[in-house]
Amino acid sequence: MKMKKSIRLYSALALCGTMAAAALSSCGGSGDPRAAMAAAMSQTPEVDVLTVAPGNSDLSLSYPATLKGKTDIEIRPLVSGFITQVLVQEGQHVTKGQTLFTLDQVQYQAAVEQAQAQVASAKIAVDNAKLLCENQRQLFEKNIISDYAYTVARNQLATAQSQLATAQANLTSARKNLSYCVVTAPSSGVIGSIPNKEGSLASPSMQIPLTTVSDNSEIFAYFSLNEKDLLKLTDNGARSMAQAIAAFPAVQLRLSDGQLYALPGKVATMTGVIDQTTGSANVRARFANPSGMLVSGATGTVLVPQHEENVILIPQKATYEVQDRRFVYVLNDSNKTVATAITVQPIDDGKNYVVTSGLKAGQRVVIEGVGSKIKENGMEVKPRMVKSLGAADAGAAAADTTATK
């Protein structure tokens, strides 16, 4: 019994020794996970690096715009009356002189007939006054009546003629008012909304017009330029406003759904006075609209191209911000990162920045892993050089940004 107990004791001790050795081996050997993680972290990261080179930039300034037709005419009646007919529909194209609405003509027809009766009565009065005046003249020449009596007869004729002229003027006015009961299009264009239907009372003083006729053969896009833009446009006064408008590049129009209008536009007019309330000047760009795609009252964005040569561009992903300042990581000769502050233009294409200061041609900039692989200054990296952004790359990235006013 004692021998069996001793064998069991030795076996247990041997097993414990084996397990302890295995535990020591796993803790102190190369399989330690913490050691493996530390070894992985100690490896030098490989990142994409761009050699800065000058190129051309084709960006666009964008300005919110309101679209108006060549003409937008509000249609209001010139006389009051109930609408008897609505002869057009919303969105219908009409020609100049086409009848749009008719108003109740009863009272205006009666006024015409009354004026006609007054004219007829005035004509009879004139005829009678002429006969009397002629008779008095003959008597006066024979010295039968006095000069006073003859003068009275002549005055009566003049009065009758004046009353006839007044009656004829009233007839003309009544006929004109009657014609106003037929509301016609003052120009060719497209009918807008028609808020009033048959039976509604219309008047010249109504706040909401019967409709609007818009000539959309050309569309004007109205936008604003601030004082700084105007100074740049006129080269700080070196050229006149007319010369600046003539030299203004062709502009594009971005519609509210994001698509670009196919036809380019041209700046037509520009106010030479700064609005004191907005600090900007109004600009009008003209766009041809042969298909009628553009409609009056819509909104869009006018894109003004800005071409610059020999500028430095870097990807936006290569930058980071600290307290409203923008930085990039520049590699020194030892391939260590150096945090470098830069300034960029306020406009960009959504992918690249145009650097105005802080970088120069030939410097190497980290463009990958900023904020993930690269998190601190002075970190050593393994550069993986990529193609420099040249003129072609910059031009392909052309886009726009909303100008801050």
Q: What is the pLDDT of residues 197-210, one digit of tens each?
A: 999 999 999 999 99
Q: What is 46-56+309-402's CATH topology?
A: 2.40.420
Q: Is the pLDDT of residue 222 over 90?
A: yes
Report d(CA 147, CA 132) in Å as an integer: 14
60-68: average pLDDT: 90
Residue 121 has pLDDT above 70, yes or no: yes
pLDDT higher at 171 or 27: 171
Query: In the numeric block, which tokens belong to residue 228?
Result: 């700084």
Q: Is the pLDDT of residue 141 over 50?
A: yes
The whole-angstrom separation of Cα 249 and Cα 232 is 14
Please give the Cα distance from 102 to 88 (Å, whole number): 11
Give me the pLDDT at residue 200, please: 95
**CA 391 to CA 405: how far, in whole Å?**
29
More confident residue, 76 or 38: 76
- The structural architecture, per CATH, of the domain 106-179 is Orthogonal Bundle (1.10)
CATH architecture of 77-104+181-208: Beta Barrel (2.40)
Query: Residue 301 forms beta bridges with which residues?
Result: 64, 254
The boundaries of every CATH 2.40.50.100 domain in the chain are 77-104+181-208
Amino acid 330: pLDDT: 94
Region(s) of the chain under CATH 1.10.287: 106-179
Distance, CA of 54 to CA of 60 (rounded, Å): 19
- Asked whether residue 20 carries a pLDDT value surpassing 90, the answer given is no
CATH of domain 63-69+212-307: 2.40.30.170
The mean per-residue pLDDT over the stretch 351-358 comes to: 89
Q: What is the per-residue pLDDT across 362-379, written as a single tens digit (0 to 9) for each?
A: 899 999 888 888 878 888
The pLDDT, as a whole number, for residue 32 is: 58
Instruction: Give the max Cα distance, the chain.
Output: 189
Residue 303 has pLDDT above 50, yes or no: yes
Q: How far is CA 91 from CA 113, 181, 211, in A?
A: 38, 23, 11
pLDDT at 68: 92
Q: What is the pLDDT of residue 387?
A: 75
Q: b or e along 77-97 (b: 16 or more beta carbons within 10 Å of the residue's beta carbon)?
A: bebbbebeebebeeeeebeee
Given a cut of 60, whether residue 404 has pLDDT beyond it is no
Output the average pLDDT for the chain.
84
Burial 195-230 (b: 16+ CB within 10 A, else e): ebeeeeebeeeeeebbbbbbbbebbbbbbbbbeebb
Q: Where in the chain is the domain with CATH 2.40.30.170?
A: 63-69+212-307
Q: Which of 141-145, 155-159, 313-317 has the highest mean pLDDT?
A: 155-159
